[in-house]
Amino acid sequence: MHIVVCVKQVPDTKIIKINPKTNTLDRRSAPAILNPFDAHAVQEAVKIKKRIGGTVSVLSMGPPQAVAIIKNSIEIGADRGYLISDRAFAGADTLATSYALSKALEKIQEEMPIDMVICGKHAIDGDTGQVGPGIARRLDIPPVTNVIEVTEVNHKEKKVLIKRKQINGYEVIEAQLPCLLTVEKEVNEIEYAPMPNMIKAARYEPTVWSVNDLNDVDKAQLGLKGSPTVVGKMFTPPKPEGGKRLEGTSDEQVRELVTLLAEKKNLFNFDVNNS
Amino acid sequence: MEEYSGVWVFIEVDEEKNIEGVSLELLGAGRALADKLNVPLAGVLLGDNIRGLANQVIYSGADTVYVVDHPVLNLYRTEAFMKAVILLAEKYKPEIFLYGATPNGKDLASAIATDLSTGLTADTTMLDIDLEKRLLEASRPAFGGNIMATILCKKHRPQMATVRPKVMKALQPDDSRLGKIIEEELELREEDMRTKVLEIVKDVTKKANLADAHVIVAGGKGLGDQQGFQLIHELAETIGASVGGTRDVIEAGWLPHELQIGQTGETVTPKIYFAIGISGAIQHVVGMKNSEIIIAINKNPEAAIFDVATYGIVGDAHEIVPKLIQQFKGISKGDLSYV
C-alpha cells in the first residue's frame, strides 16, 4: 500500500498580521507551519500503514524552506518526502497548483504505484479546499472529500470504506482504490512523535525536483501564468453603523440589556427562561 | 469568450428530494446578477426522479432549468454529477456558474473547474458585476482573518464561485413565474462508477442544533482559558441557548470542531446572538452577522464586534456575564417568556 500525502507550508493564521496600510499579509509576522489539516492527513496515512503495512510518502510544493514541513511529516511517521520547488510554480492559484502536484504525483507513481492520495480538507491560509478534488480529477481517480473516518482499507480487493461529513450528518462511502481523500480534523488525533522518528526527521533530506525534473509539463499551465483567477482588490468591508452602546455601571448595563430583550419579546417565539 | 452567456446555479437536492436552502439563496443572488447583465438565469437540476422540482426552481427566480434525470444520479457522487454538468456547460456555455459552498457543491465545482480549465473562487460571501467588463466580482474573507479579497477570472469562462450558505437572500417563490425546462439525456452506467454511497446517517447532535438555534451564546479567546469559557456554558444553560465559538477557541480545544462559527465553520442566523470576548474578525463575523439581534460584550471598546452589534457592553466578560446570568435567573417567567 503506497499512500502519498500532499502537504502545504502555511503562515500560522492565528498569529499573522495584516499591514493596514497596504492591506497585504505581513508574512514575517507569523511562523511557517505544517498546515494543521495536512498534519491529520499524514497521521491518517501513518495509521493505515500501521494497520496494513506499506509506504507513506509526502509531497509539497513551495520554496526551499518548505523542507521543514516534510521533516515534520517524517516525525509523524512518513517514510519519504518530495518537494517540488521552482520559480515557475510561484503565484499559482488552485488550478495551477493541482496541475503541478499532479505532475509530481505522476513522477512518484513511476517510482512506486500509488494506491491512495490524502490531502487536508483545506489550507488555513487559502481556505479553499479546491486543490484536492482538482488533483483527483487530473489523475482521474475518485475523490472523497470531508472524510471524518477511514473505517476500513482492503488493499487486496482495492476497496476502502469511508465516512464523509455531510451538511447534517455523514454518509458511508465505498470507494475503489486508487482514490483521493481530503480529511477533516475529526479523522484522528495527532500522536506524539516517537524519538526514532524525530532523529530520522532531523537527518532527513527529501527529494527536491525543479520543473525540468517533471515529465511532459506544459509550462503555460504553471504558476501565475497558469492561474485563471487573480485578486482584483483587497478591502476592509464597509463598517456597519454599529448599534447602541449601553452606558452606566456594569449592573445598570446588564439590567438595561435584559429589559431591552424583554421589550423585543414579540420578535421571538422561544422561551428564554426555561430553567 | 463572447459565446458564453447567462448565469447558472447548481441546484443541490438532498436525499429526500428537497432543494437545499443555499440553492434557493443562489437563485436569488443569481437573479440580481443576471438582471444586471441582462441575461437569463438558469438552474441545473440533477438527480433521479427530480423533474418535478423544476417548477420550484423557476418560481424561485430561474428562467430556464436544465434537467438530467437518471437513476445513477440518485445520490451525489462526483464522477456521475461531473459528467452531467460538463455535458451541459459545454453545450450551453454559461458565463457565470454558482454553487453552494456545501461539501457536495465544493467538491463538484472543483472537479468542473479543473475539467473546464477555468477559475473558481471558494466560499464567496459577496457577489457583484463589473458591468463595463462583464466580470463577476466574487469576494471572500482572506487570510483566515480580517480582510476581504475580490477574486476575478478575466480570461476564462465560465466564471465560477462557491457561495456560503445563509449569506444571500432567496426570493419569495412566485408560482406565476414562467420558464423553460430543458431535459438532456446522458448515458451513465452504474458499473462504471468507482464510488458507492452505502448509507446516509443524519446527525441529531449539537451541530444541527447550532444551525437551527434561536439563541446562541458564542465565546472567543477573550474568555482567557477553558475555565473562563465555562461562563459561556452557564449563560447558555440559563437561557436555554446553544453554545458556539470562534476559530481560536476551537483550535485551542475549548470546544469541539462542529461548534465553530465563521467562514470555516457554521453560518448561523439566530434571533439572538451573544458574542462574548470575541474581537470580531471578519472570518467570524461572516458566520453570524445576519443574526437578528447581536449582543457584544468585550472589554476593548475598539473591538470590531461592536460595529455589527445591536447592543454593546464594554466590560470584562468575567464581571458582566455572571451578572447577566443572575438577572436572567431573577426574572419571572412571565416577564421574559418570548412565547
**Looking at the structure, do residues B51 and B186 belong to the same domain, yes or no?**
yes
Q: Which long-range contacts (CB under 8 A, 24 or more apart) does A23-32 make?
A: A23/A234, A23/A235, A23/A236, A23/B147, A24/A234, A25/B143, A32/A65, A32/A68, A32/A69
| Residue A270 predicted with pLDDT over 80 | no
In the numeric block, the cell 503541478 is attached to A100
Q: Sort out which chain A residues have CB atoms less than 8 A from B323's CB and list them.
A: 250-251, 254
Task: Please give the residue range of the domain that contains residue B16.
Answer: 7-192
Q: Is residue B258 part of a domain?
A: yes
Q: What share of chain A is helix, strand, coil (3-state, %, to 5)?
A: 35, 30, 35
**Looking at the structure, do residues B210 and B184 belong to the same domain, yes or no?**
no
φ, ψ dihedrals at A94, nearest 5°: -65, -35
CATH number of residue B224's parent domain: 3.40.50.1220
Give, to the nearest 10 degrees, the angle between helix B103-116 and helix A94-111.
80
- The predicted-structure confidence for B261-302, as pLDDT tens digits, reads as follows 998 888 898 889 999 999 999 889 989 988 889 999 999 999
**Looking at the structure, do residues B42 and B164 belong to the same domain, yes or no?**
yes
- Predicted confidence band at B240 (pLDDT cuts at 50, 70, 90)? confident
The grid coordinates of residue B259 equal: 461548534
Give the residue among A268, A157, A144 at the shortest CA–CA distance from B106. A144
**Looking at the structure, do residues B241 and B150 belong to the same domain, yes or no?**
no
Q: What is the ipTM, given to two decimal places? A: 0.90
**Looking at the structure, do residues B60 and B111 belong to the same domain, yes or no?**
yes
pLDDT of residue A266: 47
d(CA B166, CA B173): 17
- Predicted confidence band at B145 (pLDDT cuts at 50, 70, 90)? low
* B272, containing H or E segment: strand B272-276
Q: Is residue B200 part of a domain?
A: no
Which of A140, A151, A270 is the best substitution to test chain B (most B C-beta atoms within 10 A)? A270
pLDDT of residue A274: 38
Q: Hey, is the C-beta of A170 within 8 angstroms of any chain B C-beta?
A: yes
φ, ψ dihedrals at A144, nearest 5°: -125, 110
Asked whether residue B298 is marked as a ligand-binding residue, the answer is: yes
CB atoms closer than 10 angstroms to residue B150 = 22
Q: Which residues contact A223 (CB under 8 A, 6 or more apart)?
A: A87, A88, A89, A90, A91, A92, A96
- Predicted confidence band at A239 (pLDDT cuts at 50, 70, 90)? low
φ, ψ dihedrals at B266, nearest 5°: -85, 150
> In chain B, where does DSSP find H-type helix?
21-37, 54-59, 78-92, 103-116, 206-212, 226-239, 247-251, 282-285, 305-308, 317-330
| Residue B337 predicted with pLDDT over 70 | no
| Residue A272 predicted with pLDDT over 50 | no
Domain's final residue, options B157, B192, B227: B192
CB contact under 8 A, A95 and B142: no
d(CA A159, CA A141): 13
Q: What share of chain B is helix, strand, coil (3-state, %, to 5)?
A: 35, 30, 40
**Looking at the structure, do residues B23 and B168 belong to the same domain, yes or no?**
yes
CB contact under 8 A, A173 and B197: yes
Q: Is residue B201 part of a domain?
A: no
Q: Is the peptide bond before B158 cis (omega within 30 degrees of 0)?
A: yes
Q: Sort out which chain A residues have CB atoms less than 8 A from B102's CB and list them.
A: 167
Q: Sort out which chain A residues have CB atoms less than 8 A from B191's CB and list them.
A: none
CB contact under 8 A, B147 and A173: no
- The predicted-structure confidence for B4-62, as pLDDT tens digits, reads as follows 999 999 999 999 999 999 999 999 999 999 999 999 999 999 999 999 999 999 999 99
Is-contact B140 B125, C-beta < 8 A? yes
Q: Is residue B339 part of a domain?
A: no
Q: Sort out which chain A residues have CB atoms less than 8 A from B145's CB and list them.
A: 13, 16, 18
Q: Sort out which chain B residues have CB atoms less than 8 A from A245's CB and list them.
A: 306, 312-314
Asked whether residue B177 is marked as a ligand-binding residue, the answer is: no
Domain A2-221 carries which CATH code? 3.40.50.620
Is-contact B215 B242, C-beta < 8 A? yes
| Mean predicted confidence (pLDDT) in B126-155 | 89
Asked whether residue B58 is marked as a ligand-binding residue, the answer is: no
Sketch the domain layout of chain A as residue ranges: 2-221
Among all residues of chain B, which has the CA nearest to that of A187? B257
**Looking at the structure, do residues B149 and B213 belong to the same domain, yes or no?**
no
CATH number of residue B140's parent domain: 3.40.50.620
Give CA angle at B337 (B336, B339), nearest 5°. Answer: 145
Which of A127, A144, A161, A188 is the best substitution to test chain B (most B C-beta atoms within 10 A)? A127
Q: Hey, is the C-beta of A148 within 8 angstroms of any chain B C-beta?
A: no
d(CA A105, CA A180): 12
CB contact under 8 A, B149 and A243: no
